[in-house]
Every structure is written in C-alpha cells, then in structure tokens.
A = this chain, B = another copy of it.
Amino acid sequence: MSLPRITVWNEGRHEKTNPVVQKIYPAGMHQVIADYLRADGYQVQTATLDEPEHGLTEAVLEQTDVLTWWGHLAHDQVSDEIVQRVYERVMNGMGLVVLHSGHFSKIFKRLMGTSCDLKWREAGEKERIWVVEPSHPIAAGLGEYFEIEHEEMYGEHFDIPAPDALVLVSWFKGGEIFRSGCCYHRGRGRIFYFRPGHETYPTYHHPQVQRVIKNGVNWVAPVGTPQITFGHRPQPLEPLTT
C-alpha cells in the first residue's frame, strides 16, 4: 500500500507572537512535524488558520488522506463551514490525528459528542507516557514507556467517549494521570488523539513523540473501506412471503 498523503494543519498564532515558541519552532510547529514525516517518505503539505479557507480548500482536502490538527488560542476562529468540510471528509474516510490542545477544537468536539474538557497546569513538569496496549500499531517501535522532561499537565477526568482502543496513559509528576493515546472509528474514518505538544516546549522534536505521530498517521490512513449507502430499501434482499 502506498503511503498516505498528509496535510499538517496548525493554528500558527503562538509562533507569530511568542518569542519562546518562535525559538523552538522558527518556521512553525507544523514545519517540524511535516519535515519529520517527509524525511520518512510521506508526501506532506501544510496549512494554517490564517490562509484563505484556513488552507483547507476542497482541492487540498481531496488530496489529503490524513489530516493532523493543532489549535489552541483560536478554535472559535475556525469557520463552521470549514469544520463541516473536514467533518464530511472524516465521515467519508479521511484520517484525523488530533494533537494536544486540539482536544478543544470544533472538529474534535463535534466528532466526540462530548465536552472534551479536562484539567490542565503549565508548570513544565515531567510526563511519562506508558503503553497499555502493546499489540496496537500505535505502539510500534516504542519502549514500555517514554518520558517528556517538561510538559504542560493534562489531567482526568478527560470528558471523551471511552476510546475504541486506549493505547497510551500519561503519568504526571504533579499527581495526575491522563488517557493520552486514544483511537476512534467514526463513520468511514478513523481518529487518533495524542496528548503531548504544548507550544512552549520542544515536544514535537522528541523522537518518540514523532514516532507516535507517524504511527497515528499510519493507523488512521484510509484502507479502502466500503462505500456506504443509506436510506430507503423498498426491495427486500429476500422474499417476504413464503
């Protein structure tokens, strides 16, 4: 099977205003993610909030097998029309990888049906991410756990539907735990939520974080699922009278 075509979407606002973020991600965090995936052979394009149609035109999405999503400050500025467009693409098979603060994006909340709320703290504390479903493709190439030296804390309760597969759970120094790697089947598409990625830490440079993103892209990639039809079926498949 050929590799999926990826669009890495980024809100891209922190990078414009925050010197700390600019230093870690001079070309935007989308470029770090895209470069990593390109180096692995994927065909990758990027898109950001401030482009026309947020960079997610019909043409772009038609050539996108997997979309990754990072947003934080400006969820409300993503137009409902584009959200609807992405939603329909997911329902029809496009994979979606939702990163970190994307938990509060319109598209993720719409797909989950819940508030997607959580607890959080910015204290640069240690996060240790444990694999709890080692046979899952999301765990490919990882060890039993990996550590991120400094991260924002996200804590339970995370108001999501129980994942179809829970692969990663985080331990935080400050006392919380979090379901950090969550897999969903929705419509004809698949969704992977991955927790780490606060903008003021170099998380997307972390080799194992990158590996999980790649695994996520592979897992949500369309696999030639059947076309589904709905609605009126006046003609039974079997005779009703015997």
The reply to whether B141 and A165 contact each other, CB–CB distance below 8 Å, is no
The reply to whether A226 and B162 contact each other, CB–CB distance below 8 Å, is no
How many copies altogether? Answer: 4
Interchain nearest-CB distance for A217 vs B (Å): 14
Interface of A, secondary structure class, is loop
- With an 8 Å Cβ cutoff, the count of chain A residues facing the other chain is 78
Using CB atoms, name the residue of chain B closest to A156: B130
Interface string of A122-154 (1 = CB under 8 A from B): 010110101111111101111111000000010
Check if A194 is an interface residue, CB within 8 A of chain B. Answer: no
Q: Which residues of chain B have C-beta atoms less than 8 A from A118's C-beta?
A: 230
Interchain nearest-CB distance for A97 vs B (Å): 14
Q: Which residues of chain B have C-beta atoms less than 8 A from A126's C-beta?
A: 238
The reply to whether A166 and B162 contact each other, CB–CB distance below 8 Å, is yes
Interchain nearest-CB distance for A46 vs B (Å): 25
Interface segment out of the listed A14-22, A31-39, A181-189: A181-189
Interface string of A144-183 (1 = CB under 8 A from B): 1100000001011111011011100111111111010000
Interface segment out of the listed A48-56, A68-76, A77-85, A107-115: A107-115
Interchain nearest-CB distance for A171 vs B (Å): 5
The contact sample of 7 A-B pairs, CB cut-off 8 A, is A114-B186, A135-B185, A135-B189, A140-B224, A171-B176, A174-B237, A242-B242
